[in-house]
Amino acid sequence: MLLSMDRVTSYYGKTPILKDFSFGVQQGKCVCVLGRNGVGKTTLMRTIMGLTDRSVGDIAIEGQNINSSPTYLRAKLGIGYVPQGRGILSEFTVRENILLGTFARHDGRSEIPEICLQMFPDLKVSLDRRAGLLSGGQKQQLAIARALAVDPKILLLDEPTEGIQPNIVHEIGETLLTLNRKFGITLLLTEQHIRVARRLGDTFLMVDNGRVVANGPMAELTDGVIHKYLTI
């Protein structure tokens, strides 16, 4: 397994949000994490990055336990992160935002990787533009480009299509498909759009109340499972 969690419980303060959480992501695959709002999907991503108050259990990247490692070391081991809300620095330029990702590279390179410019030509012509002036879709592209600048083995994306107009949702989906299928970057993403999840995912992970309640190949994401865990 490229990334694995074994019986992980993750806390904010004294409150456990993830509970006895176990799963794995194989190299080169795309895993879609599904569930209603507030069930722990974002906490899962933050736990992997070491951004919750405390977690117990085993989190490993290529067999190396990282649960006691600080966030910057997890990034250096090859984890790129696109947080919910994107986390773009509005007063920085597009170029400066992307270059922030290079600080976590294991090889010490500090220039914008070609893959960022290849995947996002709109950003290539806007490198010296202030990031706060970009559209919502362009900001999401920028957040992905910044994570790619880490040179990740696995890319964590928390709601990458949230708050984006429908035609841009399709573009983001195609971008992620290319990163996974052409460039071989492993993906773990939380997603609300079932159609997007089915298009991208090799497997799914359904979360409810901080626990894994269903998982398997995407073909097993039936309408019954969706109705049980996603219908309000």
What's 162's domain CATH number? 3.40.50.300
Number of domains in the chain: 1
Residue 232 scores a pLDDT above 80: no
Which pLDDT score is estimated for 166? 86
Sheet holding 186-190, edge to edge: 79-82, 154-158, 186-190, 30-34, 203-208, 211-217
Position 216 confidence tier, pLDDT thresholds 50, 70, 90: very high
Is the residue at 125 inside a domain?
no
Is the residue at 109 inside a domain?
no
pLDDT single digits (tens) 106-133: 888 899 999 999 999 999 999 999 999 9
Is the residue at 200 inside a domain?
yes
Per DSSP, what are the bridge partners of residue 33? 190, 205
Which pLDDT score is estimated for 151? 95
Position 101 confidence tier, pLDDT thresholds 50, 70, 90: very high
CA 123 to the chain's CA centroid: 20
Position 163 confidence tier, pLDDT thresholds 50, 70, 90: confident
Domain of residue 26: give its range.
3-89+152-230
Is the residue at 33 inside a domain?
yes
Please give the backbone phi and psi of residue 8, each rounded to the nearest 5 degrees, phi first: -95, 130
CA distance 45 to 57: 15
Three-state SS at 24? strand
Residue 193 scores a pLDDT above 90: no
Question: Across the chain, what does the average pLDDT equal?
Answer: 95
- Alpha-carbon separation of residue 99 from 75, 105, 132 (angstroms): 14, 10, 16
H helix or E strand, kind and range, residue 170 = helix 166-181
For the chain, percent of residues with pLDDT exceeding 90: 92
Residue 52 scores a pLDDT above 80: yes
Is the residue at 175 inside a domain?
yes
Is the residue at 113 inside a domain?
no
Is the residue at 147 inside a domain?
no
Is the residue at 105 inside a domain?
no
Which pLDDT score is estimated for 172? 93
Three-state SS at 42? helix
Which pLDDT score is estimated for 108? 85
